[in-house]
A and B are shown apart, each in its own frame.
Chain A
């Protein structure tokens, strides 16, 4: 699905990346803990999070996250928006809670970037 559709499904506001809404996304990961994002998220996924500080963008850059969706109607900090612009990572915001955000995307075919954590993890 295109990021544009994600935006419509979530009635999201686009803070950064108006010009990148044609990007294709298939998978997502949701967490408020960047430590977990680093351990589990996969390249090319959407990141759904309630965290609003610039570390969300740094973490996403390191992991090649496709786009960030800030949930629960939180506003990203100005430093966060500036960093997302610098690193060219789309940053959207939705008023849906994390559970609803994930459910709505899942109902439209977006799946988890990992279904469940393996007993022994790899790094693909």
Chain B
């Protein structure tokens, strides 16, 4: 492990939405990962962060960096996801008008995370929260 850090994400508000992702992106850039790897890591972090800002009460994003891979976990406390398979489908969304007003809620986020990461795991418990793990290989 060359680097590990944890960032808090406020839930149910877009006030600082994306702030953590910008920080993660900056850190990875400084560590001299390729543009493509940094971009993929930034995209999956951002999608996960926006979901916490949209649906969860509170959450955190943990970044673990090794020379060969970047591991990003997004852990939240909140409503959780009842049917993960359905949530993963492109186009499925329960976004409120507030979320749509911010430009989100197309139901593409989780599918996008899967597409941009080399390894993607998701677990969730209704009424408790959601846990995503994404690995990007350098």
Interface residues of A (CB under 8 A from B): 32-39, 43, 51, 53-56, 58-59, 61-64, 87, 121, 123-124
CA distance A57 to B120 in the complex (A): 26
- B15 CB to nearest chain A CB (Å): 9
Find out whether the CB atom of A35 lies under 8 angstroms from the CB atom of B21.
no
Task: With both chains docked as a complex, state the minimum distance between the C-beta of B36 and any C-beta of chain A, in angstroms.
Answer: 8
User: Given contacts A36-B108, A43-B39, A62-B42, is CB(A123)–CB(B103) below 8 Å?
Assistant: no
Shortest CB-to-CB span from B106 to chain A, Å, is 3
Interface size on B, residues (CB 8 A): 28
How near does chain A come to B27, taking the closest CB pair, in angstroms?
A: 14
Residues of B within 8 A of A37 (CB): 103
Contact of A34 with B102 at beta-carbon distance under 8 Å, contacts A43-B39, A62-B42 already known: yes
Known: A38-B43, A43-B39, A56-B103. A62 touches B108 (CB 8 A): no
What distance in Å separates the Cβ of A112 from its nearest Cβ neighbour in chain B? Answer: 18
Q: How far is the CA of A124 from the CA of B46 in the complex (A)?
A: 18
Q: Which residues of B contact A (CB under 8 A)?
A: 14, 17-19, 21-22, 25, 35-36, 39-40, 42-43, 46-47, 101-109, 111-112, 115-116
B104 partner, pick from A35, A54, A124, beta carbons under 8 A:
A35
Which residue of chain A is the closest to B105 with respect to CB atoms? A35
In the complex, which residues of chain B have a beta carbon less than 8 angstroms from the beta carbon of A61? 18, 22, 25, 42
Extra A-B contacts (11), CB below 8 Å, given A34-B104, A62-B18: A33-B103, A33-B106, A34-B103, A38-B46, A43-B39, A53-B14, A53-B101, A58-B21, A58-B22, A62-B43, A123-B116
Q: Which residues of A contact B112 (CB under 8 A)?
A: 35, 38-39
